[in-house]
Amino acid sequence: MGAQLPAYKQKFLEASISGGVLKFGSFELKSKRISPYFFNAGLFHTARLAAAISDAFAHTIIEAQKQNGLEFDIVFGPAYKGIPLSSSVTVKLGELEPKNLDSISYSFDRKEAKDHGEGGNIVGAPLKGKKVLIIDDVITAGTAKREAIEKIRKEGGIVAGIVVAVDRMEKLPAADGDESKPGPSAIGELRKEYNIPIFAILTLDDIVEGMKTFASEEDIKRTEAYRAKYKATE
Ligand SMILES: O=P(O)(O)OC[C@H]1O[C@H](OP(=O)(O)OP(=O)(O)O)[C@H](O)[C@@H]1O
Ligand SMILES: O=C(O)c1cc(=O)[nH]c(=O)[nH]1
C-alpha cells in the first residue's frame, strides 16, 4: 500500500482502511457536494484505532512545533467528532513530550448552549487569553473551522492554528452555486483570512497515492474525477 508515503502517514492510512473509517461509494457532504469517498472519524472507536488517530495527531503537532514554532496552551475539538480527539490527543501529547506539554489542557464546545448548571457552550479549559489549537477530522469547504474560530474568539481565546486528519484539498463553494467555475482553496483562504498555520495528517493527494495499491480501478477513477472537479485553483 502507498509505498511513496512517509511511514506515519502510511500507518494512519492503513488504520483508516482497516477500521472502515475511509470508505468509497457515494456520500453527501456538509457542503452538499456528492463525494465518492468519505472519512468517518467516528469509527475510530476501538482502543487500537483511538490510539492510532491520537498518535498520528500528536506526531503531526510535535513536528509542527519543531518545524514551524507552533505554540499552544489548549487543544480544542469542535463538536462532535472533535470532542473525543481533544481529550485523547491531549493525553498522548503529555505522554510523548512530558517536559513541554504536560500542562496543556483540552476543551470543546457544545453545539447547543447549556442553560442550567455551569451553563455556556464550552466544556473543559476556559479559553480566555489562551493560545488555542483546533484539532478536527476533516476540512472540506472550511465552514466548520470558521465557526470554531469565531466561537473561540468570542470566548477571548487566541487561535494558534488548526490540525486536521484529512485535508480534502477542495475549493471554496462558489457564491452563485456554480461549482464548475475555478475557485480558491478552502484551507488557503482560512490561512490568509485568520493568519494561522494549518496542518493535515493526510491530504487527498496522499489518499489517491495510497489507493493505487488497495482500491478498485473504478474507485480510483471516481476519486480522481472528484479531485479534478473540486480542486482549488490557487
Ligand atoms: O469543511 P466543511 O465543509 O465545514 O466540512 C467538514 C466538516 O463537516 C463535518 O462536520 P459536522 O459539522 O457535520 O460535525 P460532526 O460530524 O463532527 O458532528 C465534518 O466532521 C467536518 O468537520
Ligand atoms: O465534508 C464533509 O461533510 C465530510 C467529509 C468527510 O470526508 N468526512 C466527514 O465526516 N465529513
Q: Please list the rounded mean pLDDT of every run of 10 residues in the chain (234 residues).
A: 73 93 96 96 95 95 95 97 97 96 97 79 96 98 96 97 98 87 93 97 95 91 96 81
Residue 66: which region, alpha, beta or left (left: phi > 0; alpha: psi -120 to 50)? alpha
pLDDT score recorded for residue 233: 78
The catalytically annotated residue of 45, 114, 128, 192 is 114
For ligand 1, whether the C-beta of 189 sits within 6 Å is no
pLDDT score recorded for residue 2: 42
Between the CA of 211 and the centroid of ligand 1 the distance, in Å, is: 23
Task: Look up residue 173 and give its three cell numbers.
Answer: 463553494
pLDDT score recorded for residue 232: 87
Q: Do residues 89 and 135 make contact, with C-beta atoms less than 8 angstroms apart?
A: yes
pLDDT score recorded for residue 6: 84
For ligand 1, whether the C-beta of 81 sits within 6 Å is yes
Between the CA of 40 and the centroid of ligand 2 the distance, in Å, is: 7
Supply the ipTM of this predicted assembly: 0.95
For ligand 1, whether the C-beta of 136 sits within 6 Å is yes
pLDDT score recorded for residue 117: 80
Packed helices 7-18 and 47-68: angle between N→C axes, nearest 10 degrees: 150
pTM (2 d.p.): 0.94
What residue owns the CA closest to ligand 1's atom 13? 30
pLDDT score recorded for residue 1: 47
DSSP 141-205: SSHHHHHHHHHHHHTT-EEEEEEEEEE--BBPPPTTS-TTS---BHHHHHHHHHT--EEEEEEHH
CATH topology of domain 7-230: Rossmann fold (3.40.50)
User: Which ligand has its closest atom nearest to the C-alpha of 166?
Assistant: 2
Task: Name every protein residue with a CB atom under 6 angstroms from any ligand 2 atom.
Answer: 29-31, 38-40, 137-138, 140
Strand partners, 203: 167
